[in-house]
Structure 1
Amino acid sequence: MRKDSRLSRALHVLVHLNNANKPVTSEGIAKMLSTNPVVVRRLLAALRNHGYVQSTKGHNGGWELTKPLDHLTLLDIHKALGESSIFTVGLTDEHSNCAIEISVNNALKDVMNEAEALILTRFGSISLGELGKVN
């Protein structure tokens, strides 16, 4: 199963945008992330829809922050990207009438929900400004 790295990539890009003196093109960001500019535009469009970045067209155009990193949290970015599940572990639903499957799913669901709640709480307490402080 493939990992969802959008949050990590978005955080990486936001810190770089913060450190840039000028707008950064999708192509420049794509090169940094070893991906396609279309992937970058899709990722940053979600952040633009929440007012965290903006883009300008034309010569000297590109992406830039609209808010200081200290005003954004990991939770803000997670939500902006669509609040996908923290875990790639899934519950099975192939035998929904099986008492064992129901029991297993209930046990897994409770543990995963508790762990996810703790992670999201922690995400809300970490500002992106903290990420920009490279040691």
Structure 2
Amino acid sequence: MAIHALTMLARWDRSLTSAEIAESLASNPVLVRRILGSLRDAGLVSSTEGRGGGWSLARGAREITLYDAYTAVEAGPILSRHAHPPSDACEVGRHMQNLLETEFRDAEQVMQERLGRTTIAHLVQQVLAAERGAAPANH
């Protein structure tokens, strides 16, 4: 939802209300405002009140990556870990947490790097290309 909202703000290059964004998301404006609040706290969007007010990008779309958006709204590791430590009495249990920690950390690093290469501006270009029926540009 955060990436969708950022892409809308970049595409229309004007302030949008949470209701306008919620309509595109087929969601509730209250939920959208909560997400936009997290994006504002991360310095990705700003808001103005009153007539003609709404939400706008706080930085250029080329400066905001998908990873920026992800970290603004998600906390903690991407892949969940064991909620309860497994049994040390079991040979699998003794080693599983360490084995998975390495795998999960490596996978999260790859995801971070990939999302860090894609900007909101890239998504706007892909949306426009899809609307024209053209193949999206690689980045």
| TM-score for the superposition, normalised by structure 1 | 0.80
8 Å contact 1:92–1:101 — kept in the other structure? no
The answer on 1:24 being equivalent to 2:16 is: yes
Q: Name the aligned partner's letter for residue 57 of structure 2.
A: L
Aligned pairs, number: 126
Q: 2:102 aligns with which of 107, 110, 114?
A: 110
Tell me the distance in 2 between the aligned counterparts of 1:41 and 1:115: 31
- Structure number with higher helix proportion: 2
Runs of at least 5 residues in structure 2 that lack an aligned partner in the other structure: 130-139
- Gapped runs of 5+ residues in structure 1? 1-8
* 2:30 corresponds to 1:34: no
C-alpha contact 1:53 1:64 (8 A) present in aligned 2: yes
Map 1:23-102 → 2, pairs under 5 A: 23-87=15-79, 89-93=80-84, 95-99=86-90, 100-102=92-94
Question: Does the alignment pair 1:123 with 2:123?
Answer: no
Return the index of the structure with the highest Cα Rg: 2
- Mapped partners of 2:13, 2:85: distance in 1: 53
TM-score by length of 2: 0.78
Alpha-carbon distance between aligned partners in 1 of 2:108 and 2:124, rounded to the nearest angstrom: 25
User: How many angstroms apart in 2 are the aligned matches of 1:28 and 1:115?
Assistant: 35
**Equivalent residues of 1:91, 1:108 under 8 A apart:** no
Q: How big is the shift at 1:92?
A: 4.6
